Homo-oligomer: A and B are copies of this chain.
């Protein structure tokens, strides 16, 4: 099955891009015996770099053990010495194809084919500088000023920060424990013309399907299939921004005893692969998904390397943009990742990812366990997840669904029993008291030296006249906080949770 023709989704800018004639001429340089006076390239003998060595972990290190770890030494020479090197410095530090160095491009293609299994044959990959760069290029590929972009009910602010200044608005779609609701998506599209008379119909859906930022929610395969079918029906391009995809782990079983540890099953590649949720790409029979993958969360953000997977019409236009916008990802990053991944192989990288999963699962467990110590917790509905009460009280403070992926807990705080909020509400007048109270509580937490991210950061932007709770259709009497468990030690996590419990109890008048 091949991608269908979706070029009518390209915006004016993107359609208008021409190949750089200089890039065009590069093909002639490769002709045997050609003497080239064409390229304005510095001579590689004039690079001051001779060679590079990096010490890295073996792919099967036990990150959780304090025992000494098996190390690998990567060596990258200036000139390829034919010892199996993926790259050499002379090539990777010279001007090169904007698509990426061939070895790394082939690796990401093969990895995508093996792990994500796109549903159509002629998908292509193209390197970028991580998902921030990737999304920026996708918006420049598809969106015009004034477009409406479908998003989850809470969405990633840096994504919105790309399209808001262009004059685009977000269209938030309700979520439940399985992710964006397909019935809500269908409703929004079916009633679009009557709800937005004269406005252009949305043709782009932006989603973080796995370990969503900020909610931590993971979209089920069933839901993806439903959403995909609706996008086919309404001719919508799905932008699958999936940086947390490989941080998938088991459910948190509350009340089954302390879970500070984590059972280490013997690693098995096929079990690892089958444990991963299916991606949109895996349902993408038409080539209407642009998937964004990155090494930022799995190797290190500073690599600034990710890749697009999409249909050839889109990769070709994205390549034209890359040539004049960023040219290529860093040669150092490409060279080091190439050698690391060559040394590990695709199987080794999967082995590494399975080890990472465990580490983030352990951190999720630390956080949930610490909350169990500091508060009283009961199991709620599937959408509520765990409901959290002031210790020794029946006062409901917040609820959260323990995430099966990613880095975040998403707290929904219930303000109906908070006298401080009711006082704010009495004074607030026209302003949303929820917004005022969120800022106040956040500041009280900061004053006790614990830093969370306010939920208001993630409110989809629907235009200047739709920022209040009433006009935007949000829920009254609740606020949200995002809590990242990725970065803190176990001790700091326990201490931070104690501080939060103290501030919350004080705010709710329980202390």
- Residue positions of A touching B, CB distance < 8 A: 13-14, 16-18, 20-22, 25, 28-29, 31, 33-57, 59, 61, 63, 71, 89, 92-96, 129-130, 132-133, 136, 157-158, 161-162, 164-167, 213, 296-297, 299-305, 323-336, 340, 352, 356, 359, 363, 407-408, 446, 449-454, 457, 482-488, 492-493, 495-496, 499
Contacts and interface: CB of A to CB of B under 8 A. Distances in A.
A327 B132 contact: yes
B301 A42 contact: yes
A499 B36 CA distance: 12
9 closest Cβ contacts across the A-B interface? Answer: A302-B331, A330-B330, A93-B302, A16-B165, A35-B496, A93-B300, A332-B332, A50-B55, A48-B57
Given A452-B38, A496-B37, A300 B47 contact: yes
A16 B168 CA distance: 11
A188 to B, nearest CB: 25
8 contacts: A25-B453, A28-B446, A34-B446, A36-B488, A49-B336, A53-B54, A330-B332, A332-B336
Nearest to A450: B35
A155 B51 CA distance: 36
B325 A136 contact: yes
A73 to B, nearest CB: 10
A299 B93 CA distance: 9
A352 B47 CA distance: 11
Nearest to A492: B35
A486 B40 contact: yes
B53 A52 contact: yes
B325 A21 contact: no
Tell me the interface secondary structure of chain A in the complex.
mixed
A95 to B, nearest CB: 5
B499 A35 contact: yes
Contacts of A359: 43, 46
Given A36-B451, A484-B39, A484-B41, A161 B57 contact: no
Given A42-B297, A136-B324, A453 B48 contact: no
A51 B54 contact: yes
Contacts of A407: 40, 42
A103 to B, nearest CB: 14
Contacts of A492: 35
The CB with the most chain B CB atoms within 10 A, among A35, A55, A96, A359, is that of A35
A488 B18 CA distance: 29
A293 to B, nearest CB: 15
A457 B48 contact: no
